Structure 1
Amino acid sequence: MSFFLLSIALLIGGYFIYGAFVEKVFGIQAKRQTPAYANQDGVDYVPMSKGKVYLIQLLNIAGVGPIFGPIMGALYGPAAMLWIVVGCIFAGAVHDYFSGMLSVRNGGASVPNIVGRYLGNSAKLFMNVFALILLILVGVVFVSAPSSMLTNLINSKTEITIALSTVVGVIFTYYIIATIVPVDKIIGRLYPFFGALLIFMSVGIVVMLGVSAEHAMLPGFEAKDFISNMNPNDMPLWPALFITIACGAISGFHATQSPLMARCVQNEKNGRFVFYGAMIGEGIIAIIWCAVALSFFGTLDGLNQAIADGGPGKVVFDSAFGLMGAFGGFLAFLGVVILPITSGDTAFRSARLILSEFFKMPQTELPKRLMMAVPLFIIGAILTQVDFGVIWRYFGFANQTTAVMMLWTAAAYLNTNGKFHWICTIPAMFMTTVVITFILSNATLGFGLDMTVATIAGVILMGIITFLVLRTRREEGKDEALLAD
């Protein structure tokens, strides 16, 4: 229990201390007009209050990542909790802050245009393709996961029997509507309520775990376990843990979502609360579900068996109803189901906006929004027929690679403006090594090289990338970058 409470305290302290430092390094301009007013169009650029934007941002970035990822990561033991805390404060929240604030400084631009501005046109082209792939994968993951959980809930807790394909169709229909209507009509009105439900779910389930006589918090773990690999399947901690736990620590998907709220932020001084703060909120959710996974089943073997029987969705189902009873469990489980749905629609919305920027097609008219959105949904519908496990593996790698690109972009921006770039450069260096090592060593997705060889290659390539990004942009990008200030 003490380590759990310490983790929460460190995350909150990180917001007030390190978050304030990051904000100071960036250098907000409270009197500068934000895109919400400069580009106000009643569809995507709509000024909204700080609290509302925060709750929408939290739901946009959350998905099943801060729940499914930590549950899968919990198989490695309490080391997963340590990574969530450190990764969230020093990497994930920094990544989210700069992906949001650089969009604010660049007229609400999407992540490919931001990357292109500070890393060049080649990086922009790469990011356009990669971001679209990631967003479509996210949309598919966030259709499949809630569909299976809802089907399980309905079929096991009611006398109604419903087909999975029916639930998939209903969610896809909602996604189409939410993707094309103005941002304040559905997202702006419903998501703050859903955000409150999410907070209730997170607080409620950890309180019930804390007072439970049957389930102890983090049972049987010692201090040394927090730096050990305890995976019962003998899976290597490096680099897999840092790919498995994405959204709770650092996630490139967030870079595609932050520009949505960058178009609605009323003042730059709200940026730390909205972007850095929402990531800290997600880190707290991740810590809670990691602790639940480590605690509810008693042992890692018990957790491993639950995942084998029904995936992380079964862990959520069993623990929610087991700790909170029928009514509370229903609300907690519903909160988990809402998470991917409220991220899936904004994933497709972000993809529509990236496409519209690429083709330079304004989105104020409904037919033009449909022209961009319909092909995305057709591709997404086809991919829902692919095995969920395969989609999730590709999503994990694509997600962290996108985070790497955004961190290097932020590092280049700070470097060219003579600011303390190491707050972005150091996490960029670490995550670059992670994704390169992963793709070189993974036999399923990558090249299947020996782990030592893959790690050495990852470190060498990371060093080359670091040199090229910092040297090239210092010499060639300074004047252009300064315009963004």
Structure 2
Amino acid sequence: MNSLWLIIVSILIFGIAYVTYGSWLAKQWGVDPTRKTPAHTMNDGVDYVPAKAPVLMGHHFASIAGAGPIVGPIAAAVFGWVPVMLWILIGGIFFGGVQDYGSLFASIRHDGKSIGQIIEANMGKSMKKLFAIFAWLTLLLVVAAFTNIVANTFVSVPAAASASVLFIILAVLFGFFVYRKGAPIGISSVIGVILLFACIVVGNKFPLVLSKNVWVGILLAYIFIASVTPVWILLQPRDYLNSFLLYVMLIGAVLGLLFYRPTIQLPAFTGFTAANGWNMFPMLFVVVACGAISGFHSLVGSGTTSKQMDNEADAKPVGYGGMLIECVLAVIAIITAAYISKEKFAELAAAGGPVNVFSDGIGVFMSKFGIDYGVGKSFVALAVSAFALTSLDTGTRLGRFIFQEFFEDSTKETQSILTNRFVATAITVGLGGMLALGSWTSIWPIFGSANQLLAALALITLAVWLKNSGKNYMMFTVPMTFMFLVTVTALLQLLKANLASGNGILILFAVFLLLLAIILAVAGIKILRKPSEKIDA
């Protein structure tokens, strides 16, 4: 099959879904463009800062994309390209997009509060505490998985490492001139993008070669600093500029496919049990992860994005639209794994994992319309590492928020030292860093399970909120039921596998996550079965 048809048909389907289903969701939930958002009513200049839709889209998309929609579909290719494609399409439109949009909108209607605080408002304080523990443990896995992946990428493509360092400096300068000196966003964007690509050129000239463990240390120091500084200094400007990397990469990939039109070599379906021992149910739906649905997105939407939303109407393009664009990225990712031979795939994966497979594929595609293969591959590696870095510092900031919220006591004038943002960040970074010393292949399945189980809990939370608000919540019932069954099954299988291998840390993670999820799910289902107690939404 010609891979060009896969990307064209996918984009058309996602476009139709955005116009039809996305608009229907907005109508059902009562999105009101005239209502002031928390970014305006609670502006504090640190976390609550209004951002124009393109800037916020850049932050949100760069935060949710990470390496997940690339690593997941490529890892799931062991089942064949058809199951992966179907799950990306169905999951993105009816599962992931609904969760992302709903989480963002619900947070806006709860003063920009996190999913945990939404749970407290609709399910009680004890449920919020349990969810906070679950979410924080999941974020530790996010820190571990993405630190590992970025470090591997920097080792395999040193030019991307040096370009990334320069890019961080550029983002700080961009934020300073736009937010503190009032530089026009249009002119600043043009200059910023030009300098961004200059970073790539310089990075190729002066590759930064360091060992993986050194990079892990540098990355942990970086995410600590990035997660405690005001969002205008680094988070907003870097994520905004990151979005241009992604858009150029997506356009380059699609143009390359138009010129190249490679034939899919990967079998359409390899069987219900893969060669590595994974069963299609539940592992397909866990491993694809962010390419179809991701609980991490609900934390991003309700943790940072909602605090920067300028207008409620922006929630649809940022929340629902952002997820569908990520699905397009996932489709491209599966194509990069599907157009090459088994031997070539194994060679690239051994050299640098799924990110190397993806970078090589897009580099080849772009070479078909005149871009140097080496430059193209380095550019893609930089783009992916930039997304993963964004997920890292956003995930760490969210972990800090959740940790602080857990130990806050509104009845006391003096708070515990654990509510200090530096202490909360240090604990989150430290424990996540310890996990990062392992291999990404051992972390990814447990991360995927925790991430998708987090999505199921977010969906239950949103259903309870809409029910209490007297609104239609049926768009959440099938996704939350399916994701809960998938992830509980996956955690039980992973628990059994880790017991056999003696991996004590991952065994503890699996047990804690499983118990917390079951308690929260039972509580949510009980509330959904009760008569509605309408509250202001």
- TM-score, normalized by length of structure 1? 0.87
1:190 and 2:238 are equivalent in the alignment:
yes
1:34 corresponds in structure 2 to 37
Q: Indicate the SS of the match to 2:33.
A: coil
- RMSD, aligned α-carbons: 2.9
Paired residue for 2:530, among 467, 475, 481? 475
Paired residue for 1:380, among 432, 435, 439? 432
2:174 corresponds in structure 1 to none
Residue 220 to residue 341, structure 1, CA distance change in 2 (3 Å): closer
Pairing of 1:128-277 with structure 2 (within 5 A): 128-154=132-158, 161-212=209-260, 216-219=262-265, 225=268, 229=272, 231-233=274-276, 235-259=278-302, 260-277=304-321
1:77–1:229 Cα contact (<8 Å) kept:
no
1:179–1:345 Cα contact (<8 Å) kept:
yes
Q: Indicate the SS of the match to 2:404.
A: helix
Deviation, structure 1 residue 95: 0.3
1:326 and 2:369 are equivalent in the alignment:
no
1:323–1:329 Cα contact (<8 Å) kept:
no
Give the distance between the partners of 1:235 and 1:155, measured in 2 at CA.
35
1:392-449 residue CA offsets vs partner (Å, 9 max, x unmatched) = 222111101100000011111222333221101111111111112222344325899x
2:64 corresponds in structure 1 to 61
Amino acid at match of 1:179: S
1:303 and 2:355 are equivalent in the alignment:
no
Residue 115 to residue 217, structure 1, CA distance change in 2 (3 Å): farther
Paired residue for 1:416, among 464, 468, 474? 468
1:293 and 2:337 are equivalent in the alignment:
yes
1:84 and 2:88 are equivalent in the alignment:
yes
1:444 corresponds in structure 2 to 497
Q: 405-414 vs 239-248, which deviates more?
A: 405-414
Residue 204 to residue 61, structure 1, CA distance change in 2 (3 Å): same
1:88–1:283 Cα contact (<8 Å) kept:
yes
Deviation, structure 1 residue 469: 3.7
1:336 and 2:384 are equivalent in the alignment:
yes
1:254-313 residue CA offsets vs partner (Å, 9 max, x unmatched) = 111112110010111111111111111111111111112111x135x6535643564213
Give the distance between the partners of 2:443 and 2:121, measured in 1 at CA.
31
- TM-score, normalized by length of structure 2? 0.79
Give the distance between the partners of 1:433 and 1:392, measured in 2 at CA.
19
Residue 136 to residue 147, structure 1, CA distance change in 2 (3 Å): same
Amino acid at match of 1:57: H
Residue 86 to residue 34, structure 1, CA distance change in 2 (3 Å): same
Give the distance between the partners of 2:211 and 2:351, measured in 1 at CA.
20
Give the distance between the partners of 1:103 and 1:155, measured in 2 at CA.
39
1:433 corresponds in structure 2 to 485
Deviation, structure 1 residue 475: 3.3
Q: Indicate the SS of the match to 1:407.
A: helix
1:24 corresponds in structure 2 to 27
Unaligned runs of 5+ residues in structure 1 are 449-461
Deviation, structure 1 residue 22: 1.0
Paired residue for 2:74, among 51, 71, 75? 71
2:114–2:299 Cα contact (<8 Å) kept:
yes
1:61–1:253 Cα contact (<8 Å) kept:
yes
Residue 39 to residue 159, structure 1, CA distance change in 2 (3 Å): closer
Deviation, structure 1 residue 387: 2.9
Deviation, structure 1 residue 160: 6.0
Deviation, structure 1 residue 172: 2.1
2:356–2:381 Cα contact (<8 Å) kept:
no
Give the distance between the partners of 1:200 and 1:433, measured in 2 at CA.
38
Deviation, structure 1 residue 348: 0.4
2:125 corresponds in structure 1 to 121
Give the distance between the partners of 1:343 and 1:439, measured in 2 at CA.
23
Count, aligned residues? 460
1:9-33 residue CA offsets vs partner (Å, 9 max, x unmatched) = 1112111111111111111122222
Residue 265 to residue 23, structure 1, CA distance change in 2 (3 Å): same
Give the distance between the partners of 2:105 and 2:241, measured in 1 at CA.
25
2:38–2:111 Cα contact (<8 Å) kept:
yes
Paired residue for 2:324, among 265, 280, 288? 280
1:165-196 residue CA offsets vs partner (Å, 9 max, x unmatched) = 22223222221221111111111122211111
Give the distance between the partners of 2:243 and 2:335, measured in 1 at CA.
21
1:59–1:339 Cα contact (<8 Å) kept:
yes
2:71–2:354 Cα contact (<8 Å) kept:
yes
Deviation, structure 1 residue 8: 1.6
Deviation, structure 1 residue 382: 2.0
2:129–2:406 Cα contact (<8 Å) kept:
no
Residue 283 to residue 446, structure 1, CA distance change in 2 (3 Å): farther
1:451 corresponds in structure 2 to none
1:107 and 2:111 are equivalent in the alignment:
yes
1:242–1:434 Cα contact (<8 Å) kept:
yes
1:96-146 residue CA offsets vs partner (Å, 9 max, x unmatched) = 011111111111111211123223334312210011111121112121111
Deviation, structure 1 residue 64: 0.8
Give the distance between the partners of 2:247 and 2:88, measured in 1 at CA.
18
Amino acid at match of 1:247: C
Give the distance between the partners of 1:374 and 1:333, measured in 2 at CA.
28
1:77–1:230 Cα contact (<8 Å) kept:
no
2:355–2:384 Cα contact (<8 Å) kept:
no
Give the distance between the partners of 1:65 and 1:76, measured in 2 at CA.
18
Residue 473 to residue 342, structure 1, CA distance change in 2 (3 Å): same
1:439–1:447 Cα contact (<8 Å) kept:
no
Unaligned runs of 5+ residues in structure 2 are 161-203, 367-372, 502-516
Residue 220 to residue 150, structure 1, CA distance change in 2 (3 Å): closer
Residue 118 to residue 311, structure 1, CA distance change in 2 (3 Å): same
1:392 corresponds in structure 2 to 444
Q: 198-207 vs 50-59, which deviates more?
A: 198-207
Residue 230 to residue 12, structure 1, CA distance change in 2 (3 Å): farther
Amino acid at match of 1:352: R
Identity among equivalent positions (%) equals 30
Give the distance between the partners of 1:231 and 1:305, measured in 2 at CA.
19
Deviation, structure 1 residue 473: 4.1
Q: 192-201 vs 29-38, which deviates more?
A: 29-38
2:148–2:437 Cα contact (<8 Å) kept:
no
Deviation, structure 1 residue 470: 5.1
1:115–1:405 Cα contact (<8 Å) kept:
no
1:55–1:191 Cα contact (<8 Å) kept:
yes
Deviation, structure 1 residue 227: 10
